[in-house]
Structure formats: structure tokens, C-alpha cells
Structure 1
């Protein structure tokens, strides 16, 4: 099990980098291995150093974050790129994910969501800012056809039903009553969904359903 997550920060604003470092250093599992103020320097660092997560700004001098993301995805696929941006546009976020970013956050996100996003991408998941996902209902380009969704993620029919009810804000007892199941059974299905979809909690399940356009499945 990974005990230390090696993080590199690339952003051209010194004050932002300093603040982000102080925030991350409050968690024992995060180790800041370096920082850069332009994309080329970030790529150069990756050539000879272990980095698990590259926290990357979009607007930087020289090589911008979009190009850095493509280069990292091509030459350093083991490095997870987590974008921090001021833009809340879903199409822009979607484009970054297509280029290889593992996560997309807006810069005014809270620290707990930042920590959650880092852990998510390290575990080979993808993370979309809650604000972007909820406001814009971001649809992943490579999502499976709706009728094939259950097969792709190995979901049972019952798990699909429970997922939709969770998106509607139903609690486990409410779902149990609706589907004529025991609450314990619903909780078991919910745990299976967390494992199969690689998310940490019910909020993650809801966000996953929004990102993959499952609101009306």
C-alpha cells in the first residue's frame, strides 16, 4: 500500500504555489518533491525524479498546461496530472481529460476536495470538480452506450437501480422501502458500487453518474 504520495507543483504564481505547499504539507502522506513556474521546467524535472501527481496550472509562460498534459500523458504515463484552473467550463475540462489529465479542479476548491482528488487519481481514478460536474453535467466523451453501461462496469441490474436512486438523493432505508429490500442488502449493493466504480463514498457515486450522463438512464 502506498504510504507517501510524491507531488510536483507547476504554476507561474509564486504566492499560489507557496500557499498550496503549506496546505499539502498538513497531510503526512503528501511529499512535495519540487515546483516549477513554467511547463518546460516541469517536464525536465519528470525525466529524472519520481513524481506521482503533477498539480498543473493551465496558463503558464512558454508551454501551456494543455501541451504539458499531452506531453506527460505520452512520455510519463505513470504520472497523474491534476489540473487546477480558474475555468469552470465543462467543455474545457472535458478537453483536458481527453488530453490525458486524470483530474480537474477549480482553484477555489476546498482543501478536503483537493485531498480527495489527489487520492482518487493516485488510485487510477478520474476526478472532476464537484462544481463543474454538478453545474454543467459534464459528459465523458468515452462513456459507454447507456444500454451497455452495466456490462462495461460489471453492474447487476439491481446495482443499476440503486445507483439511480442514490442520484435522486434517496437514503438506504428509502431505497430499501422502494425496492422491497432489507436496508442491509441495499448497503451491501452500495459497497459493491463503490468498489466497481472506484469511488470513495456516496457523493462519489453521484458525481460518477453525473459525469457519465446517467441521470436519465
Structure 2
């Protein structure tokens, strides 16, 4: 990730796109690389440009945000996606988490919190609003309630340490500093953790750690 965060705004309302651009212009680290009006254009833009973060609406014509998220993550798995929406329905959030969303922000968010979320996701962190976390955990637990084998028992002690750090929202850099290891080693541990516990990204790993009571949030 470069020092400048190249961001794509995806929303079908021109006024919202313009408002977001103005808000984000106050943060020198964020560069709005482009704006598009639907998910299909977002996928095309990401395939042709060096995008770091996508700020993605959900309900859009041509292709909605959920499908766009799926296609973008297939195209560029390391790209960060933040859903910015008026909806707090569980089904939207569950689908987006399944496809690898890094953040979920409601459109009434304070501009400072939006910028903070973008900067955090760029560092490799994840964000789900506290009001939605309990519902996500409940659904995650329901979906996995039949799985009685404790997958985290396959993790090494160091991998559990890394997983605990992920669950508290720490970036790779922060984890490396806290555990006195390199960022490359952190990435290697995360690859092993994801494979062992059967998740696709940091958000799912964090939810797993909380559900299994490996960490108290």
C-alpha cells in the first residue's frame, strides 16, 4: 500500500458522490481516483486502475454493491472494500462479509469516522458498527453451530496470539510491533490461520475468535 490511498467512490447519486469527494478532500492521505455510478462500472474501473479502497453503495442499477463486491474481490483479493449504505439489514451485512468486505458504514456516519474507517482499512483493519456486531456474531454462531470440532486447536500458540490481535482490530504493522516479529511473518501467520479455521479474511477471522471466546471485546 502506497502512502497515498487511491479510492474509488461508487454510488448512483451524483450529489452523494460530490459530497463524499468534498469530505475526503480534507484528508491529504486520501486521493479520490475516480467516481462511478454502478457496480458494473466499479468492477471495470478496478480492473484497469490501481485502486486501494472502494467506497461502495449497495442499492444501485445495472449491478448492485453485493455482486460488485464479489466480483472485485475475485479480481483483486487484496483490495479493501467499504460498504457505505442507508441499510442496516442483516442480510446485506452477512452477504458482504461472506464476500470479503472490510468495512460497513451507514450513511449517517460522521465524516471524521468515515475518514478514520478508510485509513484503518488501508492499514489492514476491519470495521463493523458496534450496533451490528452482536447480530453478526449471532448469525455466525448459528451458521457454524453444527461444527463441534474446535478448529482453533490446530493453531500454534503464536498463531493464536496473532488471531487475538486481529480480533481487536490491530493492523499487520501493529501486530508485528506487539509480538516482536516482522510484518511478513504476520502475513504468513494470517495465511495459515485463515486456512486452518476455514475463513476468507480478517473480518471473518475476528468474528471466529470472538465466537470461540479467544478474546473478549
The two structures have a TM-score, normalised by structure 1, of 0.65
Match of 2:90 in 1: 90
Matched, 1:57 2:57: yes
Match of 2:104 in 1: 104
Match of 1:176 in 2: none
Query: What is the Cα deviation at residue 63 of structure 1?
Result: 0.7
Match of 2:210 in 1: 212
Write the distance in 2 (CA, Å) between the matches of 1:70 and 1:76. Answer: 10
Compute the RMSD of aligned alpha carbons. Answer: 3.6
- The correspondence of residues 58-77 of structure 1 with structure 2, limited to 5 A, is 58-77=58-77
Matched, 1:121 2:106: no
* Structure 1: runs of 5+ lacking an equivalent: 167-190, 199-207
Count of aligned residue pairs for this structure pair: 175
Q: Cα–Cα, structure 1 residues 146 and 2, in superposed 2: closer, same or farther, change >3 Å?
A: farther
Q: Cα–Cα, structure 1 residues 130 and 44, in superposed 2: closer, same or farther, change >3 Å?
A: same
How far does the alpha carbon of each residue in 1:26-58 deviate from its partner, in whole angstroms, 9 at most, with x for none?
Answer: 000000000011111112211221100011100
Match of 2:21 in 1: 21
Write the distance in 2 (CA, Å) between the matches of 1:55 and 1:4. Answer: 16
Write the distance in 1 (CA, Å) between the matches of 2:133 and 2:149. Answer: 19
Match of 1:10 in 2: 10
Q: Cα–Cα, structure 1 residues 154 and 214, in superposed 2: closer, same or farther, change >3 Å?
A: closer
Write the distance in 2 (CA, Å) between the matches of 1:109 and 1:34. Answer: 22
8 A contact 1:134–1:210 mirrored in 2:
no
Query: What is the Cα deviation at residue 214 of structure 1?
Result: 6.2
